[in-house]
Amino acid sequence: MYLVRCGVPFEIAFGLDEADRLAFIVTMGTLEGHRFDWTALRWRDEEAGGRG
């Protein structure tokens, strides 16, 4: 639902495979100012010093 909320059409958002879905979500989150930790495959917690 996050992708749909970000403006990705429903048919596309729910038709993506797991890797493409992750890429879309990371892209949208990055555009909103969030940082993604590719090593840990999770969003960085900036309030905790950005280390995880």
Q: What is the pLDDT of residues 5-43, one digit of tens each?
A: 999 999 999 999 999 999 999 999 999 999 999 999 999
The pLDDT assigned to 46 comes to: 72
What is d(CA 30, CA 52) in angstroms, rounded to the nearest whole number?
16
- Give the global pTM: 0.74
The pLDDT assigned to 45 comes to: 85
Nearest partner of 29 among 17, 12, 41, judged by Cα: 41
**Tokens representing residue 43 in the block:** 């969003």
Structural domain including 32 reads: 2-48
Within 10 angstroms of residue 45's Cβ, the number of other Cβ atoms is 12
Q: Can you give the C-alpha Rg of the chain in angstroms?
A: 12
Provide the phi-psi class of 20: left if phi over 0, else alpha when psi is between -120 and 50, else beta.
Answer: alpha
The pLDDT assigned to 20 comes to: 96
What is d(CA 15, CA 5) in angstroms, rounded to the nearest whole number?
15
The pLDDT assigned to 52 comes to: 46
Inform me whether the pLDDT recorded for 50 exceeds 60. Answer: no
